[in-house]
Amino acid sequence: MTGWQLALEIFLLVLVATGAIPVIAGALSFAAIPFHAFKNHYGKASPYTPRVAIVIPAWNEGAVIAASVDRLMSLDYPLDRLRIFVVDDASTDNTPDVVRSKVEQYPGNIVHLRRQTGGEGKAHTLNHGIRVILEDDWMEALLVMDADVIYQPDSLRRMTRHLADPKVGAVSAYIREGSADKNYLTRFIGLEYVLSQPAARRAQNVLGAQACLAGGAQLHTRENLLAIGGQIDTSSLAEDTITTFETQLHGREVVFEPLAVVLAEEPGSIDALWKQRLRWARGNVSVTARYSKIWFRPSKVHNLGSISFGLVWFSLWLLPIAMILSSIGLVGLLLLHSALATAIFNSLWIAAAVTFAFTLAFAVQLDVPLTSRAWREVITFPGLISMLVIASAFFPGVVEVWVPSLFGMHLTETGEFIFRIFLYAWISLSMLGAWLARRIERTWIGRFLSPALIYLVGYGSLLCAITFDSYIKEIRGAEAKWDKTEKTGRVAV
């Protein structure tokens, strides 16, 4: 082997190694979950019912706001310590009438605040209500929520008990997918939420750093709210993440309470999900840049700068890039006829499969009612084609013979080489499949083909495709705007 060939091989190996980083970060994060049984905040929590002001931003929420208010008024919480402020963001539907009827139904507990000029986004709407709430000393804790979410009766008590510890600045709940008319996509979202909340955020409790308070369920102490400026950040699409970071940077703890369950309506179409997650992804870009000086810089004040938290954050944010670089490295090694190509491909996919099986086995136990109803999505979460690729890693050579035999074919040496290139590049090609699923969703055949494509390429590839789109939007300097997800009152009460 010549010197340049050796250098090229080493370079390609480095590219492949980038694909291993998210696998390692995921394994380390989920390995921390069992320790939540020992390292948690429950020892410092105790029954505590502060005076809670609930602020609800509402723009054209006539279909959902009544049910949300009714459920809040039926919470297992003293009603004399509860006030609900509905901030009507210049709604053009029947939202004002619905809210006014609730003011009459629950006198003294419901306040209707009307913005005559709206459309500035959720953060501006929240701040309108927060300014009014802070005008007197009544509020001891502030709950920020969305208009469509439904709180379980004991959820607020489970959250406020953590505020008994003065070191805690904010508490978040488990946002659970709760649509009554579920389809394949909402079931995938429900499983994703299990992975990202009761699973991953338990691990973040153990590691001592929370990435994000749930936008529809974040409870702040008055002291914490004032410490972070007395308002919600309006400069980014990720105001909930910035609030989470600022709370911890000011030396207060953020706690995730997995037993406080809040039901939410989630997008039922790929296009709606794409718009929602694109907003989240672009917000995370601004957060990453805004807090550039904290990454991988341990601090005595907070744990956001820890190595573990940094690995988790960047492995998720840069996952599409890691996938592409890994594919380039694997295909490059194959084209070089490197003896390492097959061994590295098999090792990488086996490690990824074992890690995912480990994380999924944990997750399905954390919300059995939800995951048992989504068993098809549990099985196909990585995608049927990815499962085929995994099989080729566990049983080298078998897939190349078995798949063509299904069609009565036998691959030639050239055919086998092309097939192997496809396997090596699949982790990146899967994002194209997810993009295609969105493109055809609104066509006459999309009703059937789009779900089939998502089952084939995997829900994770759909999320990665959206993140990759956020890179493109940022590079192009596309306008970052608040694109509200339409709610229709589909939450099962």
- Residue 259 and residue 330 in one domain: no
Cα distance between residue 110 and residue 97, in whole Å: 13
Please give the pLDDT value at position 481: 65
State the Rg of the chain over Cα: 24
Cα distance between residue 325 and residue 318, in whole Å: 11
**What six digits make up the tokens of 326?**
């890994």
Any domain includes 478: no
Beta bridge partners of residue 342, listed in sequence order: none
- Residue 154 and residue 267 in one domain: yes
**What six digits make up the tokens of 234?**
């309006």
Residue partners of 9: CB distance under 8 A and separation at least 6: 1, 333, 336, 338, 340
Please list the pLDDT of the chain residue by residue as tens digits (493 residues). 577 878 888 899 999 999 889 988 888 888 898 899 999 999 999 999 999 999 999 888 888 889 889 999 999 999 999 999 999 888 888 888 999 999 999 998 999 998 877 677 888 899 999 999 999 999 999 999 988 889 999 999 999 999 999 999 999 999 999 887 889 999 999 999 999 999 999 999 999 999 999 888 999 999 999 999 999 988 888 899 999 999 999 999 999 999 999 999 899 999 999 999 999 999 999 999 999 999 999 999 999 999 999 999 999 899 999 999 999 999 999 998 888 888 999 999 999 999 888 888 888 888 999 998 899 999 999 999 999 999 999 988 777 777 777 777 787 888 888 888 999 999 999 999 999 999 999 898 988 999 999 999 999 999 999 999 999 999 888 776 655 555 555 565 5
- Residue 7 and residue 42 in one domain: no
Beta bridge partners of residue 141, listed in sequence order: 52, 221
Q: Residue length, the chain?
A: 493
- Residue 218 and residue 317 in one domain: no
Q: Which domain holds residue 320?
A: 3-20+313-457
Is-contact 345 393, C-beta < 8 A?
yes
Cα distance between residue 27 and residue 130, in whole Å: 40
Please tell me the chain's helix, strand, coil percentages from 3-state DSSP, rounded to the nearest 5.
60, 10, 30
Confidence (pTM) = 0.91
- Residue 135 and residue 238 in one domain: yes
Q: What SS3 class is residue 144?
A: strand
- Residue 105 and residue 207 in one domain: yes
Any domain includes 333: yes
Residue partners of 18: CB distance under 8 A and separation at least 6: 321, 322, 325, 326, 329
How many independent structural domains does the chain possess?
Answer: 2
Any domain includes 101: yes
Is-contact 370 176, C-beta < 8 A?
yes
- Residue 81 and residue 223 in one domain: yes
Cα distance between residue 71 and residue 91, in whole Å: 22
- Residue 371 and residue 409 in one domain: yes
Cα distance between residue 414 and residue 395, in whole Å: 20
